[in-house]
């Protein structure tokens, strides 16, 4: 059963257990998906209500794609962490098997951060043009996506400490830095628009 098919209470109980997964990456992905859902909801409620309705209707479909992708990434992250744990049990940390598993456990949260960034950036338009009665929901969604993004970036950087290939480490670290900077810039735009609406 995928996380998307699980009752939310069961997912939370599985996180708060002795199991290794779902852990931080999967929780970040699910949180990002919830953020995308809120922004998608605002787009739905805005459709046909003002001149921006058509544009936000298309944007709503984009949020839907991000939501579904993040839920799949939650499963991918759990699988990557499980594989990494298995590799560590059977091999030395510098072995090819472990290093391959670490790369996977780094690349999945990197993708989670990338999709969450897309949610945050698209959320700027929702805050600016969405139904004023639902803007608080959009801001909540963006805040969730931003928290998920930051968590994913932190996970990437933590896992980089386990990699032995300096070129891979440098490349992933650069990507993480660029993602973090872009997310902060988008959050600054969100904050500016929220301040203007108050």
Span 20-44, pLDDT tens digits: 999 999 999 999 999 999 999 999 9
Within 13 A of 198's CA, how many CA atoms are on the CB side? 8
Residue 104 lies in a domain: yes
Cα 18 to Cα 26: distance, rounded to the nearest angstrom:
16
Its domain, for residue 102, covers: 21-191
Identify the CATH number of the domain in which residue 101 sits. 1.20.120.680
Give Cα 68 to chain centroid, integer Å: 11
Lookup: tokens for 26: 């999967």
Span 138-161, pLDDT tens digits: 999 999 999 999 999 999 999 999
Residue 62 lies in a domain: yes
Residue 37 lies in a domain: yes
152 or 48: whose pLDDT is higher?
A: 152
Residue 8 lies in a domain: no
pTM for the whole thing?
A: 0.94
The number of folded domains in the chain is: 1
Residue 13 lies in a domain: no
Residue 3 DSSP symbol? G
């Amino acid at each position: 059963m995928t996380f998307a098919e699980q009752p939310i209470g069961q997912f939370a109980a599985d996180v708060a257990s002795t199991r290794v997964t779902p852990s931080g990456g999967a929780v970040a992905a699910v949180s990002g998906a919830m953020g995308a859902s809120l922004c998608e909801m605002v787009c739905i409620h805005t459709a046909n209500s003002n001149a921006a309705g058509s544009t936000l209707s298309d944007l709503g479909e984009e949020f839907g794609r991000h939501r579904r992708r993040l839920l799949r990434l939650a499963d991918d992250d759990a699988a990557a962490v499980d594989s990494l744990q298995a590799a560590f049990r059977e091999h030395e940390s510098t072995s090819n098997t472990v290093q391959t598993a670490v790369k996977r456990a780094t690349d999945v949260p990197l993708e989670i951060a990338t999709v969450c960034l897309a949610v945050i950036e698209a959320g700027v338009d929702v805050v600016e043009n969405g139904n004023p009665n639902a803007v608080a929901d959009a801001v909540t969604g963006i805040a969730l996506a931003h928290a998920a993004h930051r968590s994913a970036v932190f996970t990437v950087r933590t896992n980089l400490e386990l990699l032995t290939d300096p070129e891979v480490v440098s490349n992933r670290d650069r990507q993480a830095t660029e993602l973090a900077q872009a997310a902060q810039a988008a959050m600054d735009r969100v904050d500016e628009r929220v301040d203007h609406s108050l």
